[in-house]
Structure 1
Amino acid sequence: MGGSGGSGSHREQPVAESTRALVVTGLLLLTCASGVVDALCYFSLDQVFAGNMTGNVLFLGFALVGEAGNPVNNGIAVLGFLVGATAAGRLVPHGRRDVVPTSTLWTLAGGTTFAALLCGAWVLAGDLGTGGTLAVSALLSVVMGSQLNAVKPIGNANITTVVVTGTLGNLARDSRLAGAPPDVHSNWVDRSLAVVALALGAAAGAALDRRVSPAAALGLAVVLMLAGAAVLLVVRRRQLTARRAALQAG
């Protein structure tokens, strides 16, 4: 009996670790998508960000002294982000959950679908014009705001999927160079991967936007969003299976 129990615990640990790895993978895919979106927004939507609200707020500050290109666009992006974040805050449960909520998956699926529709409309429209630029900026910001809060119940604060300012700060703060005690777990791998994912997404988005088309860059973002949501769906199924197995064992 004892040997059997030990064997079971050894089997459970790798399963838990593989599930955690899938969670990280899903979040990193979404982070990479955010980098793509912000790159195409900056280059093709008049220096605006859909996910990086710090940048938009700075541009609004520059506008106070007449040093901004299109503060209206930046302001609309901030409002769109707040709308998306608020909507996701209403739909997705607060606090950490042991199982990825269905509302998280539906919110991510909705954002992905919305981005795909925008991509198609952009291809058909070609030149957006001033009104189209403002509309796409606002709508993509809604998607990014909803994504940010959709993943909150997953509980990995090291990968927010949208920005990495806090991630970099925490990475430095919990390092030995900063005097953190040896027993402090810095989660440096997750944090470092989040930074790399955002940078790679930005690079890919800029390359596609400049060398192919903004719609092509948005298409890549849609694929990454879809892949991230799909991975988290697999995570949810694994978590539910593990929960049922634990209840049966109890």
Structure 2
Amino acid sequence: MEPRRELGGGPATVTRVAVVVLVAASGSVEAISFTALDHVFAGVMTSNLALLGMAIGRARGTDVAAALLALAGFGAGAAVVAWVTHGRAESGVTWPPRVMFCLAGEAVLLAVGAGVWAASGGAPGEMARDALQCGAAAAMGGQAAAMVAAGRAAAPTTYLTGTLATYIVRGLGSASARPDGWVPARLGALIAGAAAAMTLRRAAPTWAGVLPFALVTAAMLIAAGPLLVPRSAPDGPSEG
């Protein structure tokens, strides 16, 4: 699932930029989730399944519960978005209203989490960590499902292993296929988002939770740009 290729700075290019910003948001959520919320990921369920197996093998009930919370939250978020979007993938070059609505819901969820994080001074207790972990996973599940529903106007934003593999195969293993030039931007955005979250946690730990919300909101504003530009009317017959 990759955005359509388009030359210039048209709607498809704007949407690609919005996808990159969403990836940065995912990176910031993952950094906070893993380092501050019981060492599980909010959006990478493959890793969480492995962590769950490790916790079971070591008979560590706390780690099992953390992994299950993340899995449950992610599944719930994805299920809600699937219901709202009716499980259909769009074929346009911009994000449809249902996808934007779901991303707005994600932003609200992240804003609530940022409030809880700030109220705890950046050091939430056990119950708050559980709630934040489940909420962060639900936000990432919703984001992942929203990008599926956006169809060709989107790309994976919460997991990039397949994206990286496809890029390598198309770049090195195929003489005819061209790799997507936006993949390095998305990979870099993931790193940048995680790095920014960690920097903010050190400099102003109380406000670290605001970063994911700000990035998702920025992605929505960028993606909404082409939708707000009125279409030019077709030229009529000349007079004279």
- TM-score category by the smaller chain? 0.7 to 0.9
Corresponding residue for 1:5? none
Specify the alignment match of 1:125 in structure 2: 120
**Distance verdict in 2 for CA 1:122–1:234, change over 3 Å:** same
Correspondences of 1:106-121 after superposition (within 5 Å): 106-121=101-116
Dislocated runs of 4+, deviation >4 Å: none
Rounded Cα–Cα distance in structure 2 between residues aligned with 1:190 and 1:129: 39
Quick check: 1:112–1:225 contact (8 Å CA) kept in 2? yes
Distance in 2 of aligned mates of 1:153 and 1:112: 17
Where does the alignment leave 5 or more consecutive residues of structure 1 unmatched?
1-12
Q: What is the match of residue 83 of structure 1?
A: 76
1:70 Cα offset (Å):
1.7
Give the C-alpha shift of residue 157 in structure 1: 8.0
Distance 1:245 1:67 in 2: 67
**Matched-pair contact (CA < 8 Å) for 1:28–1:159:** no
The residue aligned with 1:164 is 160
Could you list the per-position Cα deviations for residues 62-109 of structure 1 after superposition, in whole angstroms to 9, with x for gaps in the alignment?
Answer: 112207662211111111000001111111251223242111111111
Q: Distance in 2 between matches of 1:211 and 1:107?
A: 31
- Alpha-carbon deviations, 1:171-205, whole Å to 9, x = none? 11112x22x132x1321x11111111111111111
Q: How many aligned residue pairs are there?
A: 228
Amino acid at match of 1:130: E
Counterpart in the other structure of 2:3: none
Letter in 2 for 1:105: M
What is the rounded CA distance, in whole Å, between the counterparts of 2:202 and 2:41 in structure 1?
Answer: 16
Asked whether 1:206 is paired with 2:202, we answer no
Counterpart of 2:90 in structure 1 is: 96
Quote the Cα distance in structure 1 between the aligned partners of 2:227 and 2:175. 35
Deviates more, 1:166-175 or 1:91-100: 91-100
Of 100, 105, 117, the match for 1:105: 100
Residue pair 1:159, 1:190 contacting (<8 A) in 2 also: no
**1:6 is matched with which residue?**
none
The SS at the match of 1:61 is helix
User: Hey, what's the Cα distance between the residues in 2 that align with 1:235 and 1:146?
Assistant: 23
TM (normalized to structure 2)? 0.85
Output the amino acid matched with 1:200.
A
Unmatched segments (≥5 aa) in structure 2: 1-5
Would you tell me which structure has more helix in proportion to its own residues? 1
Identity %: 26
Match for 1:59 among 48, 51, 71?
Answer: 51
Contact 2:103 2:220 in 1 (8 A): yes
Q: Which residue of 1 aligns with 2:65?
A: 72
Assess if the C-alpha contact under 8 Å between 1:43 and 1:209 holds in 2: no
| Root-mean-square deviation (Å) | 2.5
Q: TM-score, normalised by structure 1?
A: 0.82
Q: Secondary structure at the match of 2:211?
A: helix
1:136 paired residue among 132, 137, 143: 132
